[in-house]
Structure 1
């Protein structure tokens, strides 16, 4: 058993000693495992757990990779039938003893793992029978609801305390089994689906959102009458709006509900089926299909009589609701913080601009303006966000499609134009953004944008971004027209940058055969490292922390540059690798115009 280099030998050795321990200490009897996932089980043992107050039997299933994972606890009949439903016991008769996401077995003590699992199982069964841990149902509400659900719905809904009609959209997707989505507006839902690669069914159908105080404890209702009775008991205020919706909606009717839980909400859905059922006469034993309410014309509706009297025994379908809204995804998949709803422009969607855009979206920005006139070429692929399958497409379209397929909630406007041509025709286009990032790498255009800021044509902040060869350094100049300093302030009269990292950066530009084929060499790994640090600077801009115009300078691997024989400017001779500096533009020898504006 000590030989852990051979997993087969190790696991077999642990299994043998585990079997002996269970037989000796717990009087276990080896049996065939009757539960799910049999292929992962090596041996299983029936064990009786008892004290003076209770007796239970469990089947402890030892997985092939024990002790690296916990054993499975199966509750056989007749004990399961007497106990279910209780917290932590599912319909498959499996009892959840330890959450593998937060608890980890002590692999150096396999026998202790077995004892702990058996003891925990007995405690959970005993508490479940007495009702002592009934509040645990809320912790596992979704798993219990899922066990009884026979379909799934995606949701973009905003959770709120108001009842309202919502849109139920049918669709197909090549990779998904789910075919329904609910959204507050049809446009929002259809946009999300199309960007995710789905085909939308044009049929229009409404559903109903119903915030509940509670839906009670399992077992959950299964029929019309049971649902109505449960709602009257635990969420009485919801009954009237539910009936009002059902009175005007054609069946089947989908009800999406939420209820508060801890700091958030639990969400689920159910469906009321078409009001028809087969009825058998008690006298002549003849049957017929009842399609309407007694005493009413067939097209008339009275939801109260439908649920409470004529169709009270009609089954209600439970549905799993999977939230795909931005709030849910970024709370679960991030740190719980959602970026503010700002609109950011990206001018230039090349290697730098495309990765900045991806970083912004990862950060939670979902409203973007993308401007770039170029199409993607094979020469771009090595360090661009998009790949060879996008070659020949406009960069802005490829970036949009790639990001929207990952984050379908994005709202993106694209322009396949030179930014100056766009501003000539629509001079206010950048003023519709909270600020814009300029990643063109074309100094004359950047100077022209700087001029437009000075002239008041562009009245929103711009962040000019560029990199030096081999990513020895990278820079960003934040210019808000209301503060002192501009892009021109950090360049001398010969347009040489005043804080360059390389002593002569122009020496390291590369040129391929052909006119206008000069490029700046750098690798994508260093780009991503720079943009990660730049994102925190952008975060300060976004949250209004920038109270002056600033030069942001990022220093790359200076040691490597020196080893490669590239001369570092004296000002950075002793600087640390991968460090960041911020310089107020007011401290520079300002350009003539900025100086003249200082009182």
Structure 2
């Protein structure tokens, strides 16, 4: 009788003999082989049997004849040259039709979830026991049918390997409701979106070229199911799809039949549902047998294109050929958080204006785009120089290009569902020529780092009544610390916390002499700092910007983040007494939140009602 595959206990695994330091791969393989042969009756795999696993790096393996739920099962256990640092693989020697059991892959390999890496790699027998125990659990549950729901919770893992059509990229909103959507066929594949405008904008942003002028998009249909399908429910024919629609009720079936009654090249149908871990979408295409090249019927012969009666077209579709497709989701809800970002609805409708696209402004802009901010306007009159590239998110390929325009192009290409617009000008000219940009913003982020320009922006905000809150962000010398403050209708204005020459009244670090360095050119000065320092400051500032957009931080919130003390010391700096007091004498690599208070005698706002 075949031995039963026992589940190992943690105690038994821990008690397994540890491998002696310096043991060779052959020593490990010999030990595993002896244990398997003694305890399970396993035999080494022959070369022909092992060949099946060679492409996955298998070095050696064993065949185990075991009993699972009183059924004889042949299992192969194989290891590669990294074992015991790598996990052994277990596979069914004779794989059943796919998909038959949850966590059994198409080639018969078992996807064992147990994290055997928690076991000590010096105990190869313990690792083998843990993996075999996981295999036993998977097969017992699968044969007993007690884990069928896992086919639904991991729907795409089982549907995708059965697809026989090209991938479809989906921009549709992953939410309930059977509805028509738009479809574009291209050499790169099929793309679906809620409407033509969304599809055109995404393609234009991603590839620099939208839909051809006047081009008509086809229709596709999204069927939103009550739950993900089990493998036995995967459609093989158009009639199977109609059965799925019928389960949703007469309106859904009527909608599907009306769609299949449209005389078009093919009929693409998305199948969406809510799984345990979020929405999932698959797709099928119905091809008429005439177009597919089999059983050539008259079909719609005798009717002009698009003029065939709906009933005739529907009948042809119902007897068509079905292809399955994997769907690659490219919608914002998947890209920005894999359906787990509860803030995205608000961020998608937010508009931010970035004034300054340099070493601090550019990473802030990218972080906001990555977070899902829907619209970003980028304002900067300067061009990229080669020396900028070492601490800017743009590289040498944008040399001599407008920082604002090049950054906008990069963000739109990387996040094509959002809008980024470059304005290669100063904010003063923008305020005159495009008054709506600043007035319609939910937040303005200024990283200019020039007191003359930011003092002017501060005065403008005071005079216009602060149509949008401004986040001012700057770095101290050597990027020893970074500051970010929200200036709005209440609390202090920017000038309230600065000297008459624009120097912050509160600083984290101090230096014995000026830190500005000069190029070998007239009037060209710069602050020396590296990417790690400025990136940390950008992250802090972007976080405050997001907090404001999400109503988590109001006017007057002021954050300061410091660098590491050894780095400050290397450039001759030290912490100020104010910073030591604010951090309770823990000044290194920390952040403090303060309030930017109104100064009653501030020359900029003393006559304003604040």
What TM-score comes out, normalization by structure 1 length?
Answer: 0.86
Aligned to 1:282: none
Q: What is the 5 A alignment of 1:163-178? A: 163-172=178-187
Distance in structure 2 (CA, Å) of the matches to 1:277 and 1:529: 58
Matched, 1:247 2:267: no
What secondary structure, in the 3-state scheme, does the structure 2 residue paired with 1:196 have? helix
Q: 2:152 aligns with which of 133, 138, 142?
A: 138
Change beyond 3 A, Cα 1:527–1:122: closer
Change beyond 3 A, Cα 1:328–1:104: farther
What secondary structure, in the 3-state scheme, does the structure 1 residue paired with 2:323 have? strand
Distance in structure 1 (CA, Å) of the matches to 2:115 and 2:208: 33
In structure 2, stretches of 5+ residues that fail to align are 1-17
Distance in structure 2 (CA, Å) of the matches to 1:194 and 1:304: 38
Matched, 1:217 2:230: yes
Q: Is the 2:69–2:140 contact (alpha carbons within 8 Å) kept by the matching residues of 1?
A: no
Q: What is the 5 A alignment of 1:266-285? A: 266-276=280-290
Distance in structure 2 (CA, Å) of the matches to 1:571 and 1:278: 77
Shift of 1:298: 9.6
Distance in structure 2 (CA, Å) of the matches to 1:544 and 1:416: 30
Change beyond 3 A, Cα 1:208–1:561: same
Aligned to 2:275: 261
What secondary structure, in the 3-state scheme, does the structure 1 residue paired with 2:74 have? strand
Aligned to 2:3: none
Distance in structure 2 (CA, Å) of the matches to 1:321 and 1:222: 17
Aligned to 2:200: 190
Distance in structure 2 (CA, Å) of the matches to 1:474 and 1:298: 66
The CA RMSD over aligned residues, in Å, is 3.4
Shift of 1:419: 1.2
Q: What is the 5 A alignment of 1:201-240? A: 202=212, 204-214=217-227, 216-219=229-232, 220-232=234-246, 238-240=252-254
Distance in structure 2 (CA, Å) of the matches to 1:22 and 1:335: 47
Matched, 1:328 2:334: yes
Q: 1:417 aligns with which of 425, 430, 439?
A: 425
In structure 1, stretches of 5+ residues that fail to align are 173-177, 280-286
Moved more, 311-320 or 321-330: 311-320
Change beyond 3 A, Cα 1:121–1:384: closer
Aligned to 1:289: 296
Shift of 1:233: 5.2
Q: Which has the higher contact order (CA 8 A, sep 6+)?
A: 2
What secondary structure, in the 3-state scheme, does the structure 2 residue paired with 1:595 have? coil
What secondary structure, in the 3-state scheme, does the structure 1 residue paired with 2:236 have? coil
The aligned length equals 579
Q: What is the 5 A alignment of 1:8-47? A: 10-29=24-43, 30-31=45-46, 32-33=49-50, 35=52, 37-38=54-55, 40-47=57-64
Q: Is the 1:67–1:105 contact (alpha carbons within 8 Å) kept by the matching residues of 2?
A: no
Matched, 1:515 2:522: yes
Aligned to 1:80: 96
Aligned to 1:284: none
Shift of 1:51: 6.4
Q: 2:71 aligns with which of 54, 64, 78?
A: 54
Change beyond 3 A, Cα 1:432–1:15: same
Q: 2:356 aligns with which of 337, 348, 371?
A: 348
Aligned to 1:152: 167
Superimposed CA distance per residue, residues 241-260 of structure 1 (whole angstroms, 9 cap, x where no aligned partner): 11111111413111011012
What secondary structure, in the 3-state scheme, does the structure 2 residue paired with 1:99 have? coil
Q: Is the 1:215–1:234 contact (alpha carbons within 8 Å) kept by the matching residues of 2?
A: no
Superimposed CA distance per residue, residues 405-452 of structure 1 (whole angstroms, 9 cap, x where no aligned partner): 332222112111111112122334201110101111221111111111
Aligned to 1:319: 325
Matched, 1:369 2:372: no
Moved more, 16-25 or 454-463: 454-463
Q: Is the 2:288–2:316 contact (alpha carbons within 8 Å) kept by the matching residues of 1?
A: no
Q: What is the 5 A alignment of 1:295-306? A: none
Aligned to 2:608: 597
Moved more, 125-134 or 266-275: 125-134
Aligned to 2:414: 406
Change beyond 3 A, Cα 1:198–1:103: farther
Distance in structure 1 (CA, Å) of the matches to 2:391 and 2:575: 25
Superimposed CA distance per residue, residues 175-207 of structure 1 (whole angstroms, 9 cap, x where no aligned partner): xxx522211123322332333337666453221
What TM-score comes out, normalization by structure 2 length?
Answer: 0.84
Shift of 1:376: 0.4
Q: Is the 1:473–1:556 contact (alpha carbons within 8 Å) kept by the matching residues of 2?
A: yes
Q: Is the 1:490–1:498 contact (alpha carbons within 8 Å) kept by the matching residues of 2?
A: yes
Distance in structure 1 (CA, Å) of the matches to 2:116 and 2:309: 50
Shift of 1:503: 5.1
